Amino acid sequence: MTAREGARRAFDLKKRSVAVMLPATLLGAIILVLTGLYGPYRINLTPSEPLGLWRIVPLGRPAAVGDLIFICPPGTADMLGARARGYLRSGSCPGGVAPLIKTVVAVAGQHVEIGARVRVEGREVPSSGLAQQDGRGRSLTPFPGGIVPPGHVFLHSAFLGSYDSRYFGPLPAVGILGLAQEVLTHAP
């Protein structure tokens, strides 16, 4: 075999590999997207929690403080405004937004204070500093605080730029899809 024939054979092999790998990769991507839309799996591309594949685990009880959950925010004017500002991604929840992954830090009946940081029943929530402006310099209005109403949860993410209950207040617990469980993730 000459060098030219060897090079040609190597080129043909690479070409066949690409011809097989490209459709397989495309099929895998389609399956992941469909699973994310219709199944118990979601792909997180936000910095609020590790990036990657997550599973929604059914929650057979009321949400408790410390639960990491998937929740659909309500399709309210405030949430639609947050979507317009780019704080919420497109998805299958009311108003066309994606489910959020957040930690429950207060439940119905608990008192939440908002100052320089968030306090629940007088205890400071770690990593709960508030931003005065978003990443584009637009002002952010914090939730004024108060008692979490019946049927609601107060949510938080330790990520400084997270859009959570510090700004939008408690969300209806009826929007909870389940616990958020990491499957294949990477925390940058």
Question: For residue 37, is pLDDT > 70?
Answer: no
Asked whether residue 45 falls in the same domain as residue 89, the answer is yes
Same domain, 180 and 133: yes
Place 63 in a pLDDT band, splitting at 50, 70 and 90.
very high
For residue 96, with 0-12 CB atoms within 10 Å meaning exposed, 13-18 middle and 19 or more buried, which class applies? middle
Percent of the chain with pLDDT over 70: 82
Give how many domains the chain has, as a whole number: 2
Q: Which residues pair with 146 in a beta bridge?
A: 112
Q: Taking a C-beta distance cutoff of 8 angstroms, is the pair 39, 70 a contact?
A: no
Joined together, the tokens standing for residue 11 give 């080129």
Give the pLDDT of residue 145: 97
Residues listed for the chain = 188
Residues 70 and 178: beta-carbon distance below 8 Å: yes
Question: Is residue 121 domain-shared with residue 105, that is, in the same domain?
Answer: yes
Indicate the residue type of 70: F
∠36-39-45 over CA atoms, to 5°? 20
pLDDT (0 to 100) of residue 146: 98
Q: pTM to 2 decimals? A: 0.79
Question: In this structure, which amino acid lies at residue 53?
Answer: L
Helix (H) or strand (E) holding 92: none
Domain of 133, CATH number, reads: 2.10.109.10
Task: Residue 55: count other Cβ atoms within 10 Å of its Cβ.
Answer: 16
Q: Give 150-178 pLDDT, tens digit per residue.
A: 999 999 999 988 999 999 999 999 999 99
What local confidence, expressed as pLDDT, does residue 160 receive?
86
Judgement on whether residues 124 and 180 belong to the same structural domain of the protein: yes
32 with 116, same domain: the answer is no
What is the structure's pLDDT at 2? Answer: 76
Residues 28 and 100 in one domain: no
**Tens-place pLDDT, residues 25-35:** 666 666 666 55
* Whole-number Å distance between alpha carbons of 153 and 32: 30
User: Quick one: 55 and 35 in the same domain?
Assistant: no
When pLDDT is cut at 50, 70 and 90, the band that residue 10 belongs to is: low
pLDDT tier at 141, thresholds 50, 70, 90: very high
Both 87 and 152 in a single domain? Answer: yes
Are 121 and 69 found together in one domain? yes
β partners of residue 96: none
**Mean pLDDT computed over every residue of the chain:** 89
Considering the domain architecture, whether residues 81 and 122 belong to the same structural domain is answered as yes
Q: Which pairing describes strands 171-172 and 111-114: parallel, antiparallel, or unpaired?
A: unpaired
21 shares its domain with 82: no
pLDDT of residue 86: 93
Q: Which range is least confidently modeled, 30-34, 43-47, 123-127?
A: 30-34
| Local confidence band at 5 (pLDDT 50, 70, 90 cut-offs) | confident
Interatomic CA distance for residues 70 and 50, integer angstroms: 14
- List beta partners, residue 109: none
Domain range for 27: 1-39
Q: How many Å separate Cα 101 from the centre of its chain?
A: 4
Whether residue 98 sits in one domain with residue 23: no
